[in-house]
Structure formats: C-alpha cells, structure tokens
Amino acid sequence: MSIIFKDVHRYFGSKKVLTGVNMSVQPGEKLFVIGTSGVGKSVTIKHIIGLLKPTSGEVSVDGVRVDKVSEKELFTIRRKVAMVFQASALFDSLSLLENVMLPIRKHLKLKDAEVRKKAMALLDEVGMLKHAGLYPSEIGDGMRKRVAIARALSLDPAYVLFDEPTTGLDPVSARRVDSLISQLATERNAGCIIVSHDLVSIFSTATKIAMVYKGIIYKEGPIEDFHSSTDPVIRQFLSGSSSGPMETPGF
C-alpha cells in the first residue's frame, strides 16, 4: 500500500524536467514536496494520477502501474487519489455546489438528492455552504481553494495531492488547511503529498520532505534530517537566501 516513483524521467520535447525521480508515500504520511519555481513539482505529482505519463520509469499506486494503464482504467485510481490543483481549477460554468457534486455523481452511483446532501455537507465543512449558489468567478482565490479542497475530499480518497494549498491564503486560513491535512492523515489514514513553499506549514505539518532539484529528488527524509542538514543547497532553500549555490531556472 503506497505510491512509488521508480527512476521517473519526463521530457517535454528537448526540455528535460525530471531525470530520475525516486520517492514513495505510505498511508498516513504527510510528504511535503519542495523546490524552486518551475523545477517540476507539479509535473511530478501529476504522474500519480496519470495526467502526465513518464517518458521512462515507473509510477505505481497500491501496486497498480499508472504509467501503463489507459484513461478508462485510471478512473478507479482517480477515485482513490484526489488532487487539489494549484489554481483550484473549479469549473467556471458550474456553481460551487455543482462543482462539488460533479465528482460524486460521476464516481458514486447515488441518487441526486443524496449527491446534493453530501456536497452541501462538504461545503459546510470548509465554511462555504452559504456561498453554495455562487459561481467561481464571483469569489476570491482563498474561497476557491476551500471549495477545491471540498471537491477533492468528496470521494473519501486514500491519497490526497495538494498543489500549493496555502499559497495565496491568509495565515489563519493557511493554518486551517494545515490542520485539515493532519486530520486527513491521522483520522482517515490518508497519504498526503503536499507541494508547498510555505515554511510554516512545512515545519508544522510534514512527516517527510522531498526536495526536487535539477530533475531529481535531491533529498528525501524526515523533517529532522532537513533541520540538521549542512548541505548548502538545502540550507539556502530553507533560509530563503538569494545568495548561495542553488541554481534557479529563469533567473
């Protein structure tokens, strides 16, 4: 029972984004994926749900090779592994309530009234029930993110992937997201992978950290290993210093 990356390479044309990623996540774990902008964090986690296929290498979820299966067979994986997208990715043409209802309706064979009830309960959990009838364009980024989280949790996933869940949130909402992640991991034993730049949330929440750098997982390990690390690249990232050995693409 785990998500495993084995020597995953991913190229876009001649651009080599991932060049040998190895990592794993067990249920109940909270793995934080860190790294500079454009290094390939989003690309990495999209492999888990088959939104991207590796150029070479293996990705498996609970023993199923997701790089091998067809779009149709991914349906069961996508029920088991939910994702909160970086820009929330709510459907513009649907109301917030309908946004949460859509995956429930498609994946679980429930009656319409039950789908609605479940969706309302989820919106209530993230404090968005009173806005249920609004459209994504009518609310702010932070609220959209909360709805996106409600939508992702609608199928009781075994794993949840969060792509920068606290970016753009106020500190109070950000800490709420952190505790929600912890709750998922401890109460439901969900495996969580969180892409994040938010040092507060990393050090308060992570059980494990993986740092993506130059196409590979530069270092993976428990939080203490990062605290005590003397590696100059890791030190530079964690201190957020502009001078140091780290290469940042685009600068």
Ligand X SMILES: Nc1ncnc2c1ncn2[C@@H]1O[C@H](COP(=O)(O)OP(=O)(O)OP(=O)(O)O)[C@@H](O)[C@H]1O
The alpha carbon of residue 17 and the mean position of all alpha carbons in its chain are separated, in whole angstroms, by 18
Q: How far is the CB of 151 from other proteins (least distance, A)?
A: 8
Q: Which is nearer to other proteins, 11 or 218 (CB)?
A: 11
Of 37, 75, 124, 232, the one binding other proteins (CB under 8 A) is 75
- Please choose, from the candidates 101, 93, 80, the residue with its C-alpha nearest in 3D space to the C-alpha of residue 151: 101
Burial class (CB in 10 A: 0-12, 13-18, 19+), 88: buried
Residue 41 in the binding site for ligand X (CB under 6 A): yes
Interactions with ligand X, residue window 76-135 (CB under 6 A): 86
Residue 82 touching other proteins (CB under 8 A): yes
Binding to Mg ion by residue 42, rule CB under 5 A?
yes
Q: Which is nearer to Mg ion, 155 or 193 (CB)?
A: 193
CA distances from 161 to 32, 60, 78, 192, 225 (A): 10, 15, 11, 6, 23
CB 184 within 8 A of CB 160: yes
Q: Which does 56 bind (CB under 5 to 8 A by kind): Mg ion, other proteins, ligand X, none?
A: none
Q: Does 248 bind ligand X (CB under 6 A)?
A: no
34 binds ligand X (CB under 6 A): no
Candidates 1-9, 54-62, 85-93, 113-121; binding stretch for other proteins (CB under 8 A): 85-93
C-alpha–C-alpha distance, residues 216 and 23, integer Å: 10
Q: What are the start-end ranges of the H helices in 23-80?
A: 41-46, 74-80
**38-46, 95-103, 127-135, 221-229 -> range binding ligand X (CB under 6 A):** 38-46
Does residue number 93 form part of the binding site for other proteins (CB under 8 A)?
yes
- Shortest Cβ 133–other proteins spacing (Å): 14
Q: Is 166 in the site for Mg ion (CB under 5 A)?
A: no
**What DSSP string describes 168-234?**
TS-HHHHHHHHHHHHHHHHHS--EEEEE---HHHHHHH-SEEEEEETTEEEEEE-HHHHHT---HHH
Residues near ligand X (CB under 6 A): 12, 17, 35, 37-43, 86
